[in-house]
Amino acid sequence: MRDLLPDMPGGLGVRDLWLARKGKMLLDVPELCLDGPGPTLILGPNGAGKSLLLRCLHGLIAPDRGRVTQGGEPLNDTHKARQAMVFQQPVLLRRSVAANLDFVLRRQSLPRVTRKARMAELLAEGGLDGKARQSARSLSGGEAQRLAILRALALEPETLFLDEPTSALDPGATQAIEQMVLRASARGVRIVMVTHDIGQARRLAADIVMMQGGHVVEHGAAKQVLDAPNSPASRRYLAGGLVT
Ligand SMILES: Nc1ncnc2c1ncn2[C@@H]1O[C@H](COP(=O)(O)OP(=O)(O)OP(=O)(O)O)[C@@H](O)[C@H]1O
Ligand SMILES: [Mg+2]
Protein backbone atom coordinates (compact mmCIF):
# COMPACT_ATOMS: atom_id res chain seq x y z
CA MET A 1 0.00 0.00 0.00
CA ARG A 2 2.78 2.40 0.91
CA ASP A 3 4.15 1.97 -2.60
CA LEU A 4 0.82 3.01 -4.09
CA LEU A 5 -0.01 5.87 -1.78
CA PRO A 6 2.84 8.14 -0.74
CA ASP A 7 3.23 8.94 2.95
CA MET A 8 1.60 12.20 3.87
CA PRO A 9 1.75 13.97 7.20
CA GLY A 10 -1.49 13.69 9.11
CA GLY A 11 -2.28 10.19 7.93
CA LEU A 12 -4.76 8.11 9.88
CA GLY A 13 -3.52 4.70 10.95
CA VAL A 14 -4.26 1.60 12.93
CA ARG A 15 -1.71 -0.62 14.64
CA ASP A 16 -2.48 -4.04 16.17
CA LEU A 17 -6.14 -3.14 16.59
CA TRP A 18 -8.16 -5.80 18.40
CA LEU A 19 -11.77 -5.55 19.53
CA ALA A 20 -13.83 -8.36 21.03
CA ARG A 21 -17.20 -8.63 22.76
CA LYS A 22 -18.29 -11.61 24.85
CA GLY A 23 -15.23 -13.58 23.78
CA LYS A 24 -15.89 -13.05 20.07
CA MET A 25 -13.33 -11.24 17.93
CA LEU A 26 -14.99 -8.37 16.06
CA LEU A 27 -11.93 -6.52 14.72
CA ASP A 28 -8.40 -7.77 14.19
CA VAL A 29 -6.42 -5.30 12.10
CA PRO A 30 -2.62 -5.50 12.49
CA GLU A 31 -1.97 -2.47 10.33
CA LEU A 32 -3.88 0.01 8.23
CA CYS A 33 -2.53 3.28 6.95
CA LEU A 34 -4.86 5.82 5.34
CA ASP A 35 -2.30 8.32 4.20
CA GLY A 36 -3.21 8.85 0.56
CA PRO A 37 -5.13 11.73 -0.91
CA GLY A 38 -8.33 9.66 -0.76
CA PRO A 39 -11.25 9.27 -0.80
CA THR A 40 -10.94 5.92 0.95
CA LEU A 41 -13.95 3.62 0.52
CA ILE A 42 -14.52 0.69 2.88
CA LEU A 43 -16.36 -2.28 1.37
CA GLY A 44 -17.34 -5.70 2.62
CA PRO A 45 -20.33 -7.90 3.45
CA ASN A 46 -22.80 -7.32 6.31
CA GLY A 47 -21.12 -7.85 9.66
CA ALA A 48 -17.59 -7.47 8.26
CA GLY A 49 -16.74 -4.82 10.85
CA LYS A 50 -16.90 -1.73 8.61
CA SER A 51 -18.96 0.39 11.01
CA LEU A 52 -16.92 -0.77 14.00
CA LEU A 53 -13.69 0.18 12.25
CA LEU A 54 -15.13 3.61 11.43
CA ARG A 55 -16.15 4.07 15.09
CA CYS A 56 -12.65 3.09 16.25
CA LEU A 57 -11.04 5.50 13.76
CA HIS A 58 -13.35 8.26 15.08
CA GLY A 59 -12.53 7.42 18.70
CA LEU A 60 -16.14 6.48 19.54
CA ILE A 61 -15.05 2.99 20.57
CA ALA A 62 -11.78 2.25 22.34
CA PRO A 63 -10.26 -1.00 21.06
CA ASP A 64 -9.35 -3.70 23.60
CA ARG A 65 -5.81 -3.71 22.26
CA GLY A 66 -3.79 -1.65 19.81
CA ARG A 67 -4.24 1.92 18.82
CA VAL A 68 -5.50 4.39 16.29
CA THR A 69 -2.95 6.98 15.26
CA GLN A 70 -3.14 10.32 13.53
CA GLY A 71 0.07 11.72 12.08
CA GLY A 72 2.07 9.16 14.05
CA GLU A 73 0.52 10.11 17.41
CA PRO A 74 -2.11 8.16 19.35
CA LEU A 75 -5.54 9.59 18.51
CA ASN A 76 -6.26 12.36 21.04
CA ASP A 77 -9.04 14.86 21.71
CA THR A 78 -7.47 17.46 19.43
CA HIS A 79 -7.47 14.97 16.56
CA LYS A 80 -11.03 13.91 17.35
CA ALA A 81 -12.19 17.53 17.30
CA ARG A 82 -11.00 17.68 13.70
CA GLN A 83 -13.05 14.64 12.69
CA ALA A 84 -16.73 14.48 11.80
CA MET A 85 -19.08 11.55 11.16
CA VAL A 86 -22.17 11.17 9.00
CA PHE A 87 -24.41 8.15 9.61
CA GLN A 88 -26.76 6.16 7.38
CA GLN A 89 -29.75 7.89 9.02
CA PRO A 90 -29.13 11.65 9.20
CA VAL A 91 -28.91 12.97 12.76
CA LEU A 92 -30.60 16.38 12.84
CA LEU A 93 -32.10 18.74 15.41
CA ARG A 94 -35.86 19.36 15.42
CA ARG A 95 -35.28 22.89 14.23
CA SER A 96 -34.95 24.76 10.94
CA VAL A 97 -32.26 23.94 8.40
CA ALA A 98 -30.45 27.18 9.28
CA ALA A 99 -30.68 26.49 13.03
CA ASN A 100 -29.12 23.08 12.50
CA LEU A 101 -26.11 24.72 10.86
CA ASP A 102 -26.01 27.66 13.25
CA PHE A 103 -25.83 25.25 16.19
CA VAL A 104 -22.51 23.96 14.87
CA LEU A 105 -21.19 27.33 13.65
CA ARG A 106 -21.84 29.02 17.03
CA ARG A 107 -19.48 26.60 18.72
CA GLN A 108 -16.62 28.00 16.67
CA SER A 109 -16.72 31.52 18.14
CA LEU A 110 -16.61 33.15 14.72
CA PRO A 111 -17.48 36.83 14.32
CA ARG A 112 -21.18 37.22 13.45
CA VAL A 113 -20.44 38.40 9.90
CA THR A 114 -18.18 35.43 9.23
CA ARG A 115 -20.77 33.06 10.67
CA LYS A 116 -23.44 34.43 8.35
CA ALA A 117 -21.11 34.11 5.37
CA ARG A 118 -20.25 30.51 6.33
CA MET A 119 -23.96 29.73 6.66
CA ALA A 120 -24.65 31.06 3.15
CA GLU A 121 -21.70 29.11 1.75
CA LEU A 122 -22.84 25.90 3.38
CA LEU A 123 -26.46 26.27 2.25
CA ALA A 124 -25.25 26.83 -1.32
CA GLU A 125 -22.85 23.88 -1.08
CA GLY A 126 -25.73 21.58 -0.16
CA GLY A 127 -28.21 23.12 -2.62
CA LEU A 128 -30.40 24.11 0.34
CA ASP A 129 -30.35 27.90 -0.18
CA GLY A 130 -34.09 28.09 -0.57
CA LYS A 131 -34.79 25.94 2.47
CA ALA A 132 -32.99 27.74 5.30
CA ARG A 133 -36.20 28.35 7.24
CA GLN A 134 -37.81 24.98 6.57
CA SER A 135 -38.01 22.52 9.43
CA ALA A 136 -35.23 19.94 9.11
CA ARG A 137 -37.77 17.23 9.88
CA SER A 138 -39.78 18.08 6.78
CA LEU A 139 -36.82 17.62 4.40
CA SER A 140 -36.73 14.75 1.93
CA GLY A 141 -34.32 11.90 2.69
CA GLY A 142 -31.74 13.26 0.26
CA GLU A 143 -32.06 16.83 1.55
CA ALA A 144 -31.79 15.64 5.14
CA GLN A 145 -28.61 13.73 4.36
CA ARG A 146 -27.20 16.77 2.54
CA LEU A 147 -27.90 18.83 5.66
CA ALA A 148 -26.23 16.18 7.84
CA ILE A 149 -23.15 16.43 5.63
CA LEU A 150 -23.24 20.24 5.81
CA ARG A 151 -23.37 20.02 9.61
CA ALA A 152 -20.28 17.82 9.49
CA LEU A 153 -18.54 20.18 7.04
CA ALA A 154 -19.43 23.17 9.23
CA LEU A 155 -16.93 21.76 11.73
CA GLU A 156 -14.25 22.20 9.05
CA PRO A 157 -13.03 18.68 9.67
CA GLU A 158 -9.71 17.30 8.61
CA THR A 159 -11.35 13.89 8.27
CA LEU A 160 -14.96 13.14 7.37
CA PHE A 161 -16.29 9.64 8.05
CA LEU A 162 -19.45 8.58 6.25
CA ASP A 163 -21.19 5.27 7.04
CA GLU A 164 -23.38 4.27 4.08
CA PRO A 165 -24.74 7.80 3.64
CA THR A 166 -26.61 7.00 0.42
CA SER A 167 -27.95 3.52 1.10
CA ALA A 168 -31.53 4.78 1.56
CA LEU A 169 -31.45 7.22 -1.36
CA ASP A 170 -32.43 7.12 -5.02
CA PRO A 171 -29.83 7.63 -7.79
CA GLY A 172 -30.42 11.37 -8.12
CA ALA A 173 -30.07 12.02 -4.40
CA THR A 174 -27.07 9.68 -4.30
CA GLN A 175 -25.38 11.62 -7.08
CA ALA A 176 -25.87 14.91 -5.21
CA ILE A 177 -24.21 13.43 -2.11
CA GLU A 178 -21.37 11.96 -4.18
CA GLN A 179 -20.69 15.40 -5.68
CA MET A 180 -20.53 16.92 -2.17
CA VAL A 181 -18.11 14.20 -1.09
CA LEU A 182 -15.89 14.74 -4.13
CA ARG A 183 -15.88 18.52 -3.63
CA ALA A 184 -14.95 18.10 0.04
CA SER A 185 -12.17 15.73 -0.95
CA ALA A 186 -10.90 18.19 -3.57
CA ARG A 187 -10.79 20.86 -0.82
CA GLY A 188 -8.49 18.60 1.18
CA VAL A 189 -10.92 16.90 3.57
CA ARG A 190 -9.82 13.30 4.16
CA ILE A 191 -12.82 11.14 3.25
CA VAL A 192 -13.31 7.67 4.77
CA MET A 193 -16.63 6.23 3.62
CA VAL A 194 -18.40 2.88 3.96
CA THR A 195 -20.52 1.67 1.07
CA HIS A 196 -22.11 -1.48 -0.31
CA ASP A 197 -22.39 0.14 -3.71
CA ILE A 198 -19.54 -1.06 -5.93
CA GLY A 199 -20.45 1.50 -8.61
CA GLN A 200 -20.14 4.21 -5.96
CA ALA A 201 -16.73 2.88 -4.93
CA ARG A 202 -15.65 3.03 -8.55
CA ARG A 203 -16.94 6.60 -8.90
CA LEU A 204 -15.42 7.97 -5.69
CA ALA A 205 -12.54 5.92 -4.36
CA ALA A 206 -8.84 6.57 -4.73
CA ASP A 207 -8.18 3.60 -2.48
CA ILE A 208 -10.34 0.77 -1.18
CA VAL A 209 -10.27 -1.12 2.10
CA MET A 210 -11.93 -4.51 1.72
CA MET A 211 -13.14 -6.13 4.95
CA GLN A 212 -14.44 -9.53 5.95
CA GLY A 213 -14.96 -11.19 9.32
CA GLY A 214 -13.32 -8.37 11.25
CA HIS A 215 -10.20 -8.40 9.07
CA VAL A 216 -8.91 -6.04 6.41
CA VAL A 217 -8.47 -8.55 3.61
CA GLU A 218 -7.12 -6.04 1.11
CA HIS A 219 -6.19 -2.37 0.87
CA GLY A 220 -5.07 -0.93 -2.42
CA ALA A 221 -5.64 1.57 -5.18
CA ALA A 222 -9.30 1.49 -6.22
CA LYS A 223 -8.69 0.35 -9.77
CA GLN A 224 -6.46 -2.51 -8.66
CA VAL A 225 -8.86 -3.74 -5.96
CA LEU A 226 -11.91 -3.49 -8.21
CA ASP A 227 -10.39 -4.83 -11.42
CA ALA A 228 -7.73 -7.22 -10.15
CA PRO A 229 -8.38 -8.02 -6.49
CA ASN A 230 -5.61 -9.94 -4.78
CA SER A 231 -7.61 -11.59 -2.02
CA PRO A 232 -10.11 -14.41 -2.61
CA ALA A 233 -12.49 -12.67 -0.16
CA SER A 234 -12.41 -9.50 -2.29
CA ARG A 235 -13.03 -11.53 -5.44
CA ARG A 236 -16.03 -13.26 -3.85
CA TYR A 237 -17.51 -10.00 -2.58
CA LEU A 238 -17.06 -8.20 -5.89
CA ALA A 239 -18.48 -11.12 -7.86
CA GLY A 240 -21.52 -11.29 -5.59
CA GLY A 241 -21.92 -7.55 -5.57
CA LEU A 242 -21.87 -7.32 -9.33
CA VAL A 243 -24.38 -10.10 -9.79
CA THR A 244 -27.01 -8.75 -7.39
N1 LIG B 1 -21.60 -4.17 20.95
C2 LIG B 1 -21.51 -5.31 20.26
N3 LIG B 1 -21.57 -6.50 20.88
C4 LIG B 1 -21.47 -7.64 20.18
N5 LIG B 1 -21.32 -7.70 18.84
C6 LIG B 1 -21.26 -6.55 18.18
C7 LIG B 1 -21.34 -5.29 18.84
N8 LIG B 1 -21.26 -4.32 17.90
C9 LIG B 1 -21.13 -4.95 16.72
N10 LIG B 1 -21.13 -6.27 16.88
C11 LIG B 1 -20.97 -7.28 15.82
O12 LIG B 1 -19.78 -7.01 15.12
C13 LIG B 1 -19.90 -7.37 13.76
C14 LIG B 1 -19.49 -6.22 12.88
O15 LIG B 1 -20.45 -5.18 13.01
P16 LIG B 1 -20.45 -3.90 12.08
O17 LIG B 1 -21.62 -3.08 12.47
O18 LIG B 1 -19.12 -3.25 12.13
O19 LIG B 1 -20.67 -4.56 10.64
P20 LIG B 1 -20.74 -3.85 9.22
O21 LIG B 1 -19.60 -4.35 8.39
O22 LIG B 1 -20.85 -2.38 9.40
O23 LIG B 1 -22.07 -4.47 8.62
P24 LIG B 1 -23.28 -3.79 7.78
O25 LIG B 1 -22.84 -3.84 6.35
O26 LIG B 1 -24.43 -4.70 8.03
O27 LIG B 1 -23.49 -2.39 8.29
C28 LIG B 1 -21.36 -7.81 13.56
O29 LIG B 1 -21.41 -9.21 13.57
C30 LIG B 1 -22.06 -7.24 14.78
O31 LIG B 1 -23.16 -8.03 15.16
MG1 LIG C 1 -22.34 -1.00 9.10
Pocket of ligand 1 (CB under 6 A): 21, 26, 44, 46-52
pLDDT in tens, 24-58: 999 999 999 998 888 999 999 999 999 999 999 99
Domains of the chain are: 12-91+157-243 (3.40.50.300), 93-138 (no CATH)
Do 158 and 82 form a contact (C-beta atoms < 8 A)?
yes
pLDDT in tens, 129-178: 999 999 999 999 999 999 999 999 999 999 999 999 999 999 999 999 99
pLDDT at 8 over 60: no
* pTM summary value: 0.93
Residue nearest to atom 17 of ligand 1 (CA): 51
| Choice from 22, 46, 52 to test ligand 1 binding pocket (greatest atom count within 8 A of CB) | 52
Predicted confidence at residue 145, as pLDDT, reads 97
> Quick one: which ligand is closest to 26's CA?
1
Percent of the chain with pLDDT over 90: 89
Considering the chain, what is the average pLDDT of its residues?
93
pLDDT at 182 over 80: yes
Cα(39)–Cα(193) distance, rounded to whole angstroms?
8
